[in-house]
Structure 1
Amino acid sequence: MEWSASVPISAPPEVVWAVMAEVEAWPEWTASVRSIVRVDPGPLHVGQRLRISQPRFPTTVWTLTELVERSVFVWVAGGPGARTTARHELEPSGAGTLVTLRLTQQGPLGLLVGALSSKVTKRYLELESTGLKRRSEERAAGVGERG
């Protein structure tokens, strides 16, 4: 089961990437995330674990499995019978960036959870994409820059 949302952002990829890579700040720009804590310290890196708390879902530890600077990162969570993969992809588009967010549920339990949470998942992808757009465009314009 898979969901995705794409959004054009009027900001260069390096700005959008900087916003996305500040994972602890996500709750400032999307209501789909309460908190993100790096279990393993340091900048984003393959193998890094992050504890993510979201409304309506249990707090979950995700593992970063793929990382291409200013282009893509993928994190995965799950256990026996369920695997959730979240892909965050950026590509230059004209003077801005096209971002695609994709969430995939696999495994027998994953498919069941996906079916039961489909409406919430779609809403969260919408919140994340519109929040990322707003924050990135503000950052590109120099509004509300982090110190």
Structure 2
Amino acid sequence: MTAIRRSIVVDRRPEDVCAYVLDASRLPEWQASAVTAERLDTGPPHIGSRTRIVRRVGSREMPTTMEITDYNPPYSWSMRGVDGPVRGLLRGEIEPLDEGRRSRVTLELDFDSHGIGRVLVPLLVRPMARKEMPINERRLKDRLESGAA
């Protein structure tokens, strides 16, 4: 299956967008399914940094660990799930617009599945992610542009 890819334009500098998006404590503010998120290491984000995220999937809460696999602030990053039957593969890109005053944020999400995840991804996870991504984009844009970020 193909990755889910969406873009939005945000009236904030790439540095602001990158700092907010990669701050694990902020994930539940803009990702609808994220219940909690916490960094598992200290210091600024870097390749190898891990974040533990608990997501609501249907009526269940599912923990997962994501690891940064590529990090080129403030322009791009990639993360991959390292545990569980459904492992997210996320790539983010931030393109400066209007001499860096605004940003185009592109998120690309795919899934790697193992065991029961092979059934869950097409039936539940991918449809849920397709429905949630526009909501997450709106929330991200609202948070960044309102100054709450």
TM-score interval w.r.t. the shorter chain? 0.7 to 0.9
Question: Equivalent residue for 2:126?
Answer: 118
What secondary structure, in the 3-state scheme, does the structure 1 residue paired with 2:129 have? helix
Question: Equivalent residue for 1:28?
Answer: 29
**What is the CA–CA distance in structure 1 between the aligned matches of 2:118 and 2:82, rounded to whole Å?**
12
Question: Equivalent residue for 1:97?
Answer: 103
**What is the CA–CA distance in structure 2 between the aligned matches of 1:53 and 1:80, rounded to whole Å?**
12
Runs of 4+ displaced beyond 4 Å: 78-83, 107-111
Residue identity matched to 2:120: V
Which structure shows the bigger proportion of residues in strand conformation? 2
Q: 2:66 aligned to 33, 39, 62, which one?
A: 62
**What is the CA–CA distance in structure 2 between the aligned matches of 1:59 and 1:80, rounded to whole Å?**
8
Q: How does 1:1-147 map to 2 (within 5 A)?
A: 1=1, 2-56=3-57, 58-78=62-82, 83-94=87-98, 95-106=101-112, 112-116=119-123, 117-139=125-147, 144=148
**What is the CA–CA distance in structure 2 between the aligned matches of 1:51 and 1:64, rounded to whole Å?**
12
**Where does the alignment leave 5 or more consecutive residues of structure 2 unmatched?**
none
Residue identity matched to 2:79: W
Normalising by structure 2, report the TM-score: 0.81
**What is the CA–CA distance in structure 2 between the aligned matches of 1:25 and 1:47, rounded to whole Å?**
19
Normalising by structure 1, report the TM-score: 0.82
Q: 1:81 to 1:15 in 2, by over 3 A?
A: closer
Verify the 8 A CA contact 1:105 1:111 in the aligned structure 2: no
Verify the 8 A CA contact 1:101 1:129 in the aligned structure 2: no
Task: Give the fraction of aligned pairs with identical amino acids, expressed as a percent.
Answer: 26
Verify the 8 A CA contact 2:113 2:121 in the aligned structure 1: no
CA RMSD of aligned residues (A): 2.2
**Where does the alignment leave 5 or more consecutive residues of structure 1 unmatched?**
none
Q: 1:133 to 1:81 in 2, by over 3 A?
A: closer
Verify the 8 A CA contact 1:89 1:101 in the aligned structure 2: yes
Verify the 8 A CA contact 2:95 2:105 in the aligned structure 1: yes
